[in-house]
Amino acid sequence: MAFQVSVPIMSRVMSSRFSCARLRATGVAYRTAALMLGASLLFGTSAGQASEQTAALPAGAAVEAQLQEAPMQILVSLDEQKIDVYRGATLLKSSPISSGQRGHTTPTGVFSILEKRRKHFSNIYDNAPMPYMQRLTWSGIALHQGRLPGYPASHGCIRLPESFARDLFGITDRGVHVVVTRERVAPTVISSEVLPQPRGLGQEVASLTSSTIAADPALRGAMAPTGTDETPAAIASNPHFDDPLRMIVTPREPENATRTLQQLLNRMGFDAGAPDGVIGKRTRAAVALFQEGADLPVTGQVTEGLRHAVYAAAGYEAPQNATLRIRRNFKDVYEAEVTLRDADKPIGTHVFTALNFREGDRSVDWMAVPAEGETLATMTQALDRLVIGDKVARDLSAMLTPGSSLIVTDRSFARNTGLGTDFVVVTR
């Protein structure tokens, strides 16, 4: 019963304004006190200690702590055999673990809790018990209670001590991020103009009507109509405000520029032959005809200037080199093109998470975790290389919810991402 009472207190923490530059010292102290109180109740501090901390916490700060909820994030270090539980950028509790032994190494990467079962038995390893199971992949990796001999000993899962596994099970929800790394990492508050910001309620904007949404493939299924075609509409309440978004940016496969050129020439009536990506006689002849009609020097040669001229004549815009995808409740809701500068350079894997904000707020702070360290690119460098167009930025602003996350990575998510998952990025 004591643990059940502590859950609401535990879940109400940290103001939406997490930047130290914007917090008064007293505000930081109150929030820290509220957070430590919740942590002590959750992980077993004595009643006397808890009552002392409660008495020291002013009523206004306690109410604010209950109203504000920072997103939870679980970080696992295989090298140090540790698990750290965070609310926002504040560490609540750490525990030893036992991860996968040699031959069954626990994968590193970015995962989410997909399923929870208080009582579970392995369907792979002799019906072995897995109490307080929290599934990370549908292929068999999970957090659960298990024996901790002091070294990696599991078949790939992350074993936890009994009391820790039980308490953690009681405060997590499906969708909570679990980041598994080799070295131990910690979240840090980060600022960047490219990170989405919420759009306040009541601000007058162009209507997102049913016809507007239907005409934009990126918005279908992601937004509800907010007005009529004739009048602007004030931003309506977000019906999904309690559902964090899971966003990911990954590079696209480079476009075959020659094949595109052939397709455009054919579309405009110049016979460039089959769009096979090979510049042969027919393609050069088609280029020469195009150059003649466009009053360009007739050379039949394919140059960058020739490509731009063909693109302009065909009304074609070359695609951007990266894709932003969004899931909500394990389902795809949005996709758009974005740009990664210096796409040929490695970027690593970085997880950015929006802290708490109230509906109607126009700003939110973000925290960041380097899921592959920062040897390939720092978290700031990764954001500096990301370019999001104005329209996509407006869409994100309208959709953004507390606890939403953005993964920027040059790794594929396809293998482990499917029905009933968030974006899963395996880094080893």
| Residue from 20, 104, 144, 240 carrying the catalytic annotation | 144
Assess whether pLDDT exceeds 60 at residue 240. Answer: yes
| Helix residue spans in 144-239 (DSSP H) | 162-171, 210-215
- The residues, ordered by sequence, that sit 6+ positions from 134 with a Cβ below 8 Å of its Cβ are 113, 115, 116, 142, 143, 144, 168, 169, 172
- 144 is an active site residue: yes
Which pairing describes strands 177-181 and 158-160: parallel, antiparallel, or unpaired?
A: unpaired
Q: pLDDT for 71-129, tens place per residue?
A: 999 999 999 999 999 999 999 999 999 999 999 999 999 999 999 999 877 766 666 78
Would you state the pLDDT for residue 39?
A: 53
Q: In this structure, which amino acid lies at residue 49?
A: Q
* Owner of token pair 């897995």: 130
Residue 90 main-chain phi, psi, to 5 deg? -105, 125
Q: pLDDT for 355-371, tens place per residue?
A: 999 999 999 999 999 99
Residue 199 main-chain phi, psi, to 5 deg? -105, 125
- 155 is an active site residue: no
Sequence spans of domains, the chain: 2-67, 72-186, 190-254+320-421, 257-314
For residue 235, give Cα distances in angstroms to 144, 190, 230, 359: 43, 27, 16, 11
Q: Predicted confidence band at 220 (pLDDT cuts at 50, 70, 90)? A: low
Torsion angle, alpha carbons of 355, 359, 362, 365, to 10: 0
Q: Which two structure tokens, joined as six digits, stand for 359?
A: 């509906």
Q: Predicted confidence band at 6 (pLDDT cuts at 50, 70, 90)? A: very low
Q: pLDDT for 264-279, tens place per residue?
A: 999 999 999 999 999 9
Cβ atoms 314, 293 nearer than 8 A: no
| Residue from 157, 177, 240, 308 carrying the catalytic annotation | 157
Q: Which CATH class is domain 257-314?
A: mainly alpha
Cβ atoms 267, 290 nearer than 8 A: no
* Owner of token pair 């960058």: 304
Q: Does domain 72-186 have CATH number 2.40.440.10?
A: yes
Across-strand partners of 272? Answer: none
Rounded distance between C-alpha atoms, residue 134 and residue 136, angstroms: 7
In this structure, how many other beta carbons lie within 10 angstroms of the beta carbon of residue 397? 17
The yes-or-no answer to whether 72-186 and 257-314 have a common fold is no
Degrees to nearest 5, angle at CA 126 with 120 and 127:
20
The per-residue b/e assignment along 67-81, b for 16 or more CB within 10 angstroms, e otherwise, is ebbbbbbbbbbbeeb
